[in-house]
Structure 1
Amino acid sequence: MQRADTQSFNQGLLEFIAASPTPFHATRNMAEQLVAAGFVRLNEADSWSLQQGKRYFVTRNDSSIIAFCYGSTPLEKTGIRMFGAHTDSPCLKLKPNAYSVNAGYVQLAVEVYGGALLNTWFDRDLSIAGRVTYKGDGDVPLSRLIDFQRPVACLPNLAIHLDREANRNKSVNPQKEMLPILMVAGAEEQDLHSLLKTELQRTDADAVVKAILGFELSLYDTHKPALIGFNEDFIASARLDNLLSCYVGLDAMLNASTEQSCLLVCNDHEEVGSASACGAKGPMLEHFLQRLIPDTQLRLRALDASMMISADNAHAIHPNYQQKHDAGHGPMLNGGPVIKVNSNQRYATTSETAALFKLLCGRAGVPVQSFVSRSDMECGSTIGPITSSEVGVKTLDVGVPTFAMHSTRELAGSDDAYGLSRVAKAYFEQVAAPGKFA
């Protein structure tokens, strides 16, 4: 039965990632599932009156989302079970004046977003998706999500005959060498705004698009997510970091009980530091908590009884590069979720939050692992330390072990996401303040 459950979960995960080429699409897809499950959509411009026993969600910038189940137990006694992830992934984003003609080809100028593995973008079938803002019939700008879906661009490698050092000493200049080809130039080619206008009207035949005013568009690999390996041991996909964690949190939230209050927050802009109105370093979560519990004393009491699980993928030990890992902390794919530890607070895990997570893993029958970076290598970070310091909630950093993080096609174990989901569900169901688990 568990194998069938794992397969069903993974199918949903793969479909979610495939339908979410940008943070905007991921947020819209999560919102649609929440609405279908009976969650009430909140508008930040409205006055709120949240009621126990009901479920809500709110978005900001169309790219970050908070979902909340208001449990029947008092918030100041049992707190809020929080689960956090991020919607963005490293990618190539179009510059405002992206369209140019060079050597007979139409190319797109792009900006590298986050710490992308640039070499993995070459020789891929690329499409374009994101948000377009335009002028319609009125004077108020309108925005709509688009996704060309089909391969419309490519970034060909230079042949080995023209670069004999490519296999020994290859570096990539993002300004000069990361210019995807869109089409062969000719007398009838259109500018980018014309192409976007056509795509908007293809998506909605009734749309009136008088002028394109702006856009936030990304390139993405059209290669679909898949289960791979001789025994289908692995999930291969773009954006596993960190849509996998978003889906885990969403799945747990959709199945959360009505007794314990639970919260899911998926922020944009983690890959570039989280410093935005909708990022973890911004006030989105704090604003939500202030409106949920206006009284400062009650809110601080509730936060003291609360806990945050920050879920973001972890580095699995690579068999070809074992020297890149600490010998005692090398997580394995399909070895269970990973507790991430860093004494310099790049991760927010404490001995107490780690202990609580281990207890939950034990109850769910899920194995658990630990990750610590080599002492002579710099460590990455997550929304965990940011949320912990901004909101003042005890926090744990965990993640699913992954290969090729920030590649256009990452690799995770086919058992691990479902394992983390089972632990997240147990976490949401536990009606007791953190540190007081029965």
Structure 2
Amino acid sequence: MKATSLNSQLFSYLGKATTPFHAVKEICLILQNSGFSCIDEKEEWDIQPGKPYYFIRDGGSVIAFNIGKKNDTSFRILGAHSDSPCLQIKPHADLYEKSYHRVGVEVYGGALLSSWFDRELSIAGRVIFQTKKNEIVTELVDFNKAAAIIPSVALHLDRKANTEKSLNPQTDITPLIGLTGDPQPRLTEQVTEWINAQHGEKVVNEILSFDLFLYDYHKPCYAGMNNDFILSGRLDNLLSSFLAATATASADRNNSFLFICNNHEEVGSNTSSGAQGNMLLSLFERIYPDNEKRYRVLANSFFISVDNAHAIHPNHPEKHDPSHEIFLNRGPVLKINASHKYASTASSNAVFKYLCLEAGVPVQEFVMRNDLQSGSTIGPMTAAKLGLKTVDIGAATLAMHSVREMTGSRDPHLLFLVLQHFLLCDNLPEIQSK
């Protein structure tokens, strides 16, 4: 697949995957179009070799897998996550004051809050409601319009805004969605109207619960005089989930392979659908109920955890280790940390580097400055829980955790080539002890 075609598909995915639930919906469409069958965790499974399957947990996490027709003794595993730092709307959202209608929000993950001001924001997520027929239904909602904004305080009213500004997440980031009226509008009423409009009739009796988020309404685009860059919301980590899903869709079904996309990575992964939950372990226990065989399969498997990496900032090169500077459009990044915030080891790094050599793709190595704290990924959690040989890698990124992030326009294709080669190559390299 050419880079321009891949980027076009990536842009479409990013524009539709406005929340983890929408991301999983789009991933499932990619899988369905390649012949994957949906199965349900609550039902009995009849898994056939060479027939790929997927299942969803709690709407925001998905696993796709295939037991190889020729090789069922090891799995080639890709992992990413579906969530991104953002603002999540509180259950009792509506706030009315000074004729304005605002909604209360919580900060989800490590959002770079300053980037959320003075931008067109929309609202999306999932809503669970009771229907007129007394059924309980979950539906995805996306207003797909400039529905909210967080206006800055004018410089005339805050002369220290450019020098001493600090943000209070309780008081400074409450989005404005309209003016009050008579009667006062409620967000749930507007959500109800949106759902009813999609059905062409009144289907909602009462909204019971929701997971609604704000997102940057602007669509993905190229940037730079020569289109060197890609700008988009949620590149961390939808870039990785899209590339991993697309590579998985074209994997060799003679081999055993698996793609997991977890929710809740940005808030610690300690949920039933997060990397600290049992989602992946339960799958292996079901397809290999015999402990001995399951342990052998896991010991022979290899896991690539894909999550974005920090490119060197042009205005602040001092924030980076001078011996490990990372650049846009120069290939995927190996992420290394002595405290194992990343799961990469010398042996797993060597395997990934060898894959890059075979795929003809350059590779970079990232290490955090000693006086700055590293982030983490689903890699160490998954490796520890299942005993998997694991490497943490990703695409170089600027403005990570901003409402709008940035990567190189060649980086998605370079990363995809390696992931695709990982799933298609005849044999993974083995390290011999001497």
TM-score after normalising by structure 1? 0.97
Map 1:155-234; keep pairs closer than 5 Å: 155-206=150-201, 208-234=203-229
Cα deviation for residue 185 of structure 1 reads 1.2
Whole-angstrom distance in 2 between the partners of 1:36 and 1:423: 22
The SS at the match of 1:252 is helix
Tell me which residue corresponds to 1:73. 70
Read off the aligned partner of 2:343 and give its amino acid letter.
A
| SS across alignment from 2:328 | coil
Given that 1:80 and 1:302 are in contact with CA atoms closer than 8 Å, whether structure 2 keeps it comes out as yes
Q: Tell me, in whole angstroms, the C-alpha distance in 1 between the residues paired with 2:30 and 2:327.
A: 32
The residue that corresponds to 2:10 in the other structure is 13
1:320 match: 315
| SS of alignment partner, residue 286 of structure 2 | helix
Structure 1 position 380, deviation (Å) = 0.4
Amino acid at match of 1:338: V
Secondary structure of 1:213 counterpart: strand
Corresponding position: 1:310 with 2:310: no
- 1:232-251 superposed Cα distances (whole Å, 9 cap, x missing partner): 01110000000000011011
Measured in 2, the distance between the counterparts of 1:431 and 1:45 equals 35
**Counterpart for residue 236 of structure 2:** 241
The within-5 A match list for 1:91-130 is: 91-130=86-125
Q: CA deviation at 1:430?
A: 2.6
- Aligned residues of 1:312 and 1:397 also touching (Cα < 8 A): yes
Q: Using the alignment, how far apart are the partners of 1:51 and 1:311 within structure 2?
A: 28
The one of 97, 122, 141 aligned to 2:136: 141
**Identical amino acids, percent of aligned pairs:** 44
- 1:49, CA displacement in angstroms? 1.5
Amino acid across the alignment from 1:97 = H
RMSD: 1.3
Structure 2 residue identity aligned to 1:313: N
Q: Kindly tell me the number of residue pairs found equivalent between the two proteins.
A: 432
Aligned partner of 1:89 among 81, 84, 94: 84
Aligned position for 1:48: 45
Residue 424 of structure 1 is aligned with which of 394, 410, 419? Answer: 419
CA distance, structure 2, for counterparts of residue 83 and residue 187 of structure 1: 53
Q: Which residue of 2 aligns with 1:369?
A: 364
Specify the alignment match of 2:262 in structure 1: 267
Partner of 1:59: 56
Between the aligned partners of 1:322 and 1:433, the Cα distance in structure 2 is 37
What amino acid maps onto 2:234 in structure 1?
Answer: R
Any unmatched runs of 5+ in structure 2? none
Does 2:16 align with 1:22?
no
Q: Could you say what secondary structure the match of 2:127 adopts?
A: strand
Name the residue aligned to 1:282: 277
2:273 alignment partner, SS class:
coil
Greater CA drift, 189-198 or 377-386: 189-198
Give distance in 1, aligned partners of 2:105 and 2:20: 18
Alpha-carbon separation, structure 1, partners of 2:132 and 2:102: 31
1:192: how far off? Answer: 1.7
Q: Which amino acid letter does the alignment assign opposite residue 224 of structure 1?
A: K
Distance 1:381 1:272, change over 3 A: same
Aligned counterparts of 2:272 and 2:198: Cα–Cα separation in 1: 29
Q: Secondary structure at the match of 2:281?
A: helix
CA-to-partner distance for each residue in 1:5-54, whole Å, 9 max, x for gaps? 00000011111011010000000111122112210101011101111110
Which has the higher mean CA deviation after the structures are superposed, 392-401 or 32-41? Answer: 32-41
Q: Higher mean Cα deviation, 377-386 or 427-436?
A: 427-436
CA distance in 1, matches of 2:248, 2:430: 22
CA deviation after TM superposition for structure 1 residue 107, in Å:
0.3
Residue 357 (structure 1) aligns with: 352
Q: Which amino acid aligns with 1:190?
A: P
Superposition deviation, residue 189 in structure 1: 3.9
1:196 Cα deviation after fit: 1.1
Counterparts of 1:294-305 in structure 2, within 5 Å, are 294-305=289-300
TM-score (norm 2): 0.97
Moved more, 56-65 or 186-195: 186-195
3-state SS, counterpart of residue 75 of structure 1: coil
Structure 2: distance between partners of 1:221 and 1:433: 40
Q: CA offset at residue 127 of structure 1?
A: 0.7
Distance 1:238 1:232 in 2: 17
Residue 376 of structure 1: how far off its partner (Å): 1.2
Q: Is the 8 A contact 1:260 1:430 kept in 2?
A: no
1:391 to partner: Cα distance: 1.2
CA distance in 2, matches of 1:29, 1:188: 38
Counterpart CA distance in 1 for 2:245 and 2:256 is: 15
Q: Distance in 2 between matches of 1:343 and 1:140?
A: 52
Return the alpha-carbon distance in structure 1 between the equivalents of residues 202 and 240 of structure 2.
35
Given residue 260 of structure 1, which amino acid in structure 2 is its aligned partner? N
| Partner of residue 327 from structure 2, selected from 321, 327, 332 | 332
Asked whether the 8 Å contact 1:81–1:261 carries over to 2, the reply is: yes
Deviations 1:371-430 (A, max 9, x none): 000011111000000000111111000010100000011010111111111000110113
Compared CA separation, residues 433 and 230, structure 1 to 2 (3 A): closer
8 A contact 1:306–1:433 mirrored in 2: no
CA displacement, residues 245-274 of structure 1 (integer Å, 9 cap, x when unaligned): 001101101111121111100000000000
Distance 1:153 1:318 in 2: 30
Of stretches 65-74 and 151-160 in structure 1, the one that deviates more from structure 2 is 65-74
Letter in 2 for 1:214: S
Is residue 30–residue 246 contact of structure 2 (8 Å, CA) maintained in 1?
no
SS state at 2:305 partner:
strand
Residue 187 of structure 1 and its aligned partner are, at CA, apart by 1.5
Q: 2:33 aligns with which of 10, 28, 36?
A: 36
CA distances 1:90-128 after superposition (whole Å, capped 9, x unpaired): 000000001111111000000000000001000000110
